[in-house]
Chain A
Amino acid sequence: MADPLPWLILLPLLWATGAFLLGPARGARLAIAGTAVQLWLAFALAAKVGAERTALHHPVGGWGAPLGIDLAADGLAALLLILTQLVALPLFVYARGYFAAAAASWFWPLAGFLLAGMNALFLSADLFNLYVTLELVGLAAVGLVAVGGQAAGGQLAAALRYLFATLVGAGFYLLGVALIYGTYGTVSIASLTPLIAADAPPVVGFAAGLMLAGLMVKTALFPFHYWLPPAHGGAPAPVSALLSALVVKASFYLILRLWLGPFAPLVQAAAWLPALLGAAAILWGSWRAIRAERLKELVAWSTVAQLGYLFLIFPLLGDDRLALHAGGMQVVSHGLAKAAMFAAVGVLIQVTGRDAVHAVAGVAVRLPVTLLAFGLAGVTLMGLPPSGGFLAKWLLIDAALARGRWDMVIVILAGGLLAAAYVFRVLRQAFLLPPSGERRRVERRPAAPLEWAAFALAAASVLVGLRGMEIVRLLGGSAS
């Protein structure tokens, strides 16, 4: 395996097909082994990108860029590849214990196709290939939302709403690609960047608007977030974790890539718009999380809020790269923390038998590890040191102050306080004594891998704050 680029896409496709043919029991083992190899490949890729300080290329099948498909990896892509495999590996260990054998028959193939689509998206270097990977990720994610034995009506409705949102988003993106190809006759990001900088007729601005709007629908930026809470809150816990931690980041990655690359000359004047929507998302998402009655709904609304932080960086992007580093840290720490939180909540729901915030009363005694995982993930979401979330918010505040944006500092700090409110709501409930009538209910113990997978993810989300320099160095080498 000399070149990690194609194998990062081929491996998940291989084990997904294997899991489909061999059934869930052997499929799970195959998936975990495959993802472990992918994680190793992603780290090898990052080391190579970091050492050479330039993007790596791979022409698929030996056909170069004008006719064939080029794969490319720079620091940003390498970071997201590591994050994807790093979150997926413990989640697969978790999913193996979570699903009863029959319900999981579709989980493993779909999860493999999802990872293949995500890895291909991070490695694609032309707009049309990115469209195809976007659709692959979207279709696999919709399938995953509907997964799980006897899917209930509400879960199916959530999957269909998600499907329509993701199709409309990808449709807007495709129309934009069509207009850009009509104007310049190429879809390669590398060759478009100088062309757009040299001459951009109004139709290109329109196309850029369409593409970014479509991607914002897929990233669930306020006010396009309507599909996210039902889809992420209604899916089985390992699926919610995959979707909230990773899938929404894929379309965000693409927005960032287009914003820094080909569309840079077009979008500077409009940078306040995503930031405004991001600020609205932080406040509204946190407020709904505080008011949520169901645990998963609370965590899903928290995702809406945390995605808002990612969009605050756009007016702050500049030569000092502070905002880019803040965005990268936020993507990584939120990915790990949100996966941990959904995994922990999945255990709480299995044990208490109900998806309700008030039902967690008394779990502090019975499930200390799970509750600790939830709390550590909460520490990252609130942005307390030394967590990755703290570093992300610190860098963001630093970038905002460097440009005198006090209003953004206030939103960032308010978002941290609101996050504390919804995290402590659950923790406080967990330390209360359960009502005496419910204490006698027979509750099954969760399997140990479930609790420890959630804990590993949460611990990683805190510890990643100590590895901030590596992430910053990796992003410093990314093409912009």
Chain B
Amino acid sequence: MSTGTIFACTGVILFAMGVAGVILLDHLLRRILAFNLMGSGAFLVLVGLGQRAGHPDPVPQAMVLTGIVVAVAATALALALARRLFALTGGYVLPPGDARDGDG
């Protein structure tokens, strides 16, 4: 097993942990962290597999940089929304409910 494959496998495991976190956790901050873990896993796969005969390939590194920018933006938006929710409800947990919550 080459180093690249080890990185890629670790990445897939991290990604799966992140997905489980986003879906299963209640606390919004934990879910946002889990989303970041998910992203890191995908980036690790991208960089780990993107090696040609031991030489790093610059293209996936550029992609990961772009991906990090996107992840930072998404995290910032999620944090802003979570803070606003905290200010309104006093908690960092999404209220349980279906389509009926939200008063339009």
Contact = CB atoms under 8 A, between A and B. Distances in A.
Nearest to A356: B104
Contacts of A135: 70, 73-74
Contacts of B31: 164
A171 B49 contact: no
Contacts of B59: 181
A167 B77 CA distance: 12
B66 A152 contact: no
A128 B63 contact: yes
B77 A185 contact: no
A88 interface: no
Given A161-B94, A163-B78, A175-B45, A155 B102 contact: yes
A296 interface: yes
Contact of B42 (A154, A157, A171, A292): A171
A230 B100 CA distance: 7
Given A153-B95, A156-B81, A167-B35, A175 B42 contact: yes
Interface string A127-169: 0100110010001001100100001111111111101100110
A154 B77 contact: no
B74 A143 contact: no
Chain B residues touching A, majority SS: helix
Interface in B24-68: 28, 31, 35, 38-39, 41-43, 45-46, 48-50, 52, 57, 59-60, 63, 66-67
A292 B101 CA distance: 13
Interface string B75-104: 001100110110011000011011111111
A262 interface: no
Contacts of A293: 100
Contacts of A263: none
Interface residues of B, number: 49
A160 B82 contact: yes
B97 A157 contact: yes
Contact of B81 (A159, A230, A233): A159
A132 B70 contact: yes
Given A151-B84, A355-B104, A181 B46 contact: yes
A156 B104 contact: no
A179 interface: yes
A57 interface: no
A185 B52 contact: yes
A153 B82 CA distance: 11
Nearest to A158: B102
B85 to A, nearest CB: 5
A233 B11 CA distance: 37
B38 A168 contact: yes
Interface size class of A (residues with CB under 8 A): 35 or more
A397 interface: no
Contacts of A296: 104
A451 interface: no
A182 B49 CA distance: 5
B15 A163 contact: no
Nearest to B46: A178
Most buried by B among A142, A151, A159, A182: A182
A43 interface: no
A301 B99 CA distance: 9
Nearest to A301: B99
Contact of B102 (A131, A234, A301): A234
A118 to B, nearest CB: 16
A379 interface: no
A142 B59 CA distance: 30
Contacts of B97: 154, 157, 230
Contacts of A185: 50, 52, 57
Contact of A157 (B12, B18, B39, B95): B95
A301 to B, nearest CB: 7
A300 to B, nearest CB: 7
B35 A164 contact: yes
A233 B81 CA distance: 18
A139 B78 CA distance: 9
Interface string A457-474: 000000000000000000
7 nearest CB pairs, A to B? A182-B49, A154-B102, A234-B102, A229-B99, A178-B46, A178-B45, A154-B101
25 contacts: A128-B66, A135-B70, A152-B102, A152-B103, A153-B88, A154-B95, A154-B103, A155-B103, A156-B88, A157-B95, A157-B97, A163-B81, A164-B31, A167-B22, A168-B23, A171-B18, A171-B35, A174-B67, A175-B12, A175-B45, A182-B48, A185-B50, A185-B52, A233-B99, A288-B99
Given A164-B35, A178-B60, 20 more contacts: A139-B77, A142-B77, A153-B88, A154-B95, A154-B102, A157-B95, A157-B101, A160-B28, A160-B82, A164-B22, A168-B23, A175-B12, A175-B45, A178-B49, A181-B49, A181-B50, A182-B48, A182-B50, A230-B97, A301-B99
